[in-house]
């Protein structure tokens, strides 16, 4: 059963990446023109995640790995379910944003603060979903040191992206965004 779950985890990762690419193409074709767009944080985010994943591989080979025989199928299935939950949260957030979703940090004409869907509980649910799914899929390294390298790189990239996005939205949307930010946690309801 572990082999079936491993295959499902790999398929999940590749399907998620394909969906992300399709969403980016779709939004470029159909979203409204932007008044302000910032690309660097998207480029840095993608490069940092790729570098973190690349850097985690040699760490995984240089440090003791978890023994597959001691990892239960139930634990692997739980990891898969958590990954799906993270991906689902990200997609729900994108649907809630509607026409305001883009891969870049941007402001469109008539841009508004979205407070529906998962945005009722956190300011960046799409990033919460990425973090949840990324950590779950990172567990497939079967190595704590590799997961730590991957998580650290992802956290730095995500932190920078959130900083850039919040700065742009605060400048462009003014008190509508700053009031929302003051009452809504960033990534985890009731925590941060």
pTM here is: 0.84
Residue with tokens 């082999």: 3
Q: Minimum mean pLDDT among 16-20, 72-76, 94-98: which range?
A: 72-76
Task: With cut-offs at 50, 70 and 90, classify the pLDDT of residue 1.
Answer: very low
Tokens found for residue 10: 């790999």
Tokens found for residue 131? 């973090």
| 45 membership: H or E segment, kind and range | helix 40-62
pLDDT at 163: 93
- Please report which confidence band the pLDDT of residue 35 belongs to, taking 50, 70 and 90 as the band edges: low
Q: What is the pLDDT of residues 129-154, one digit of tens each?
A: 999 998 888 777 677 787 888 888 88
pLDDT in tens, 40-88: 777 777 787 788 778 777 776 677 665 554 567 777 788 889 999 999 9
| CA dihedral over 174, 156, 23, 140, signed as positive or negative | negative
- Give 103's pLDDT tier (boundaries 50, 70, 90): confident
Provide the pLDDT for residue 183.
94
Q: Tokens representing 116?
A: 């529906």
Give the whole-angstrom CA distance, residue 76 versus residue 139.
Answer: 9
pLDDT score of 118 more than 90: yes
**How many CB atoms are closer than 10 A to CB 60?**
20
């Amino acid at each position: 059963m572990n082999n079936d779950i491993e295959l499902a985890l790999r398929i999940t990762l590749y399907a998620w990446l394909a969906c992300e690419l399709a969403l980016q193409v779709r939004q470029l074709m159909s979203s409204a023109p932007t008044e302000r767009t910032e690309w660097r944080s998207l480029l840095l985010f993608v490069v940092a995640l790729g570098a973190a994943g690349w850097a985690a591989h040699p760490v995984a080979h240089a440090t003791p790995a978890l023994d597959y025989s001691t990892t239960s199928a139930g634990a692997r299935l739980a990891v898969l379910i958590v990954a799906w939950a993270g991906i689902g949260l990200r997609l729900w957030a994108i649907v809630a944003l509607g026409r305001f979703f883009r891969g870049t940090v941007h402001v469109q004409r008539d841009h508004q603060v979205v407070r529906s869907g998962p945005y009722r509980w956190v300011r960046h649910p799409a990033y919460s979903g990425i973090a949840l799914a990324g950590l779950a899929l990172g567990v497939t390294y079967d190595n704590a040191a590799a997961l730590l390298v991957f998580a650290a790189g992802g956290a730095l990239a995500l932190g920078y992206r959130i900083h850039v996005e919040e700065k742009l939205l605060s400048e462009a949307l003014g008190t509508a965004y700053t009031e929302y930010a003051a009452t809504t946690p960033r990534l985890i309801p009731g925590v941060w």
